[in-house]
């Protein structure tokens, strides 16, 4: 059994990832910040199904709080699977975007990636095995109106992950990024109607969170040990 930490574990994609990693036999640390009640329910669900999970609550934008939350995890065993899934939207066209909207979105996705990943690197390196998987977005690859902050944050994540993959490739640790397109969730349902999906997605449907989770599960497995530094799209053929 390997330890896995999934940030943003209470959202639609995060929940599916936690469930899939748990069914694969990993002990899953389900991270939450604002939605800790949903994450706690997920932990109970995983345990009821025979899996192993625990809740961990911290703000990924707070470096000190993140490090304090990670320390007890390391004391019980190094999480060798890290899924950086935490992220937020705060959409507006750039002409009407506030500095706070710009900074907050980048803080969660990009600074959060650093705050969570950096304290785990040396402990993971010592084990000579690791899987770091980042959840990005098609917006980082093609842009999206009203999401200059989100696209910038996720595109920055691509560059950081690629550089990190080179730094630790010889230590048995892979670093990859998954870039979903339109994935079914309560939030996406408010934004993308079927007509919009038909126009944007060649497969004419939204993806399922479970489909993203299967890709993450594969990248976290022994079978994916020769895949690193990659951005893998899962978007129904959008690009």
φ, ψ of residue 103 to 5 degrees: the values are -70, -40
Helices (H), 29-96: 36-48, 63-76
Q: How many CA atoms lie within 13 A of 133 on its CB side?
A: 33
List 9, 150, 175, 180, catalytic entry: 150
Tokens of 36: 């800790």
Determine whether 226 is an active site residue: no
**Separation CA 70–CA 58 (nearest Å):** 9
Coil, strand, or helix at residue 201? coil
Q: Which of 136, 121, 130 is nearest to 177 (CA)?
A: 136
| Catalytically active residues, by annotation | 150
């Amino acid at each position: 059994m390997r330890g896995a930490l999934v940030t943003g574990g209470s959202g639609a994609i995060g929940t599916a990832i936690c469930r899939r990693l748990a069914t694969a036999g990993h002990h899953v640390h389900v991270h939450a910040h604002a939605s800790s009640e949903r994450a706690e329910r997920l932990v109970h669900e995983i345990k009821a199904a025979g899996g192993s999970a625990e809740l961990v609550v911290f703000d990924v934008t707070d470096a000190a709080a993140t490090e304090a939350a990670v320390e007890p995890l390391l004391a019980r065993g190094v999480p060798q699977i890290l899924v950086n899934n935490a992220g937020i939207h705060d959409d507006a066209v750039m002409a009407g975007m506030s500095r706070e909207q710009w900074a907050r979105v980048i803080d969660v996705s990009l600074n959060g990636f650093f705050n969570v990943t950096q304290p785990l690197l040396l402990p993971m390196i010592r084990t000579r095995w690791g899987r770091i998987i980042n959840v990005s977005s098609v917006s980082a690859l093609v842009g999206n109106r009203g999401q200059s902050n989100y696209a910038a944050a996720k595109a920055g994540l691509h560059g950081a992950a690629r550089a990190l993959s080179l730094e630790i490739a010889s230590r048995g640790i892979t670093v990859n990024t998954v870039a979903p397109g339109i994935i079914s969730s309560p939030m996406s349902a408010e934004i993308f109607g079927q007509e919009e999906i038909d126009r944007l997605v060649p497969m004419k449907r939204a993806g399922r969170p479970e489909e993203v989770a299967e890709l993450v599960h594969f990248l976290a497995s022994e079978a994916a040990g020769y895949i690193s530094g990659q951005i893998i799209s899962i978007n129904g053929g959008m690009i």
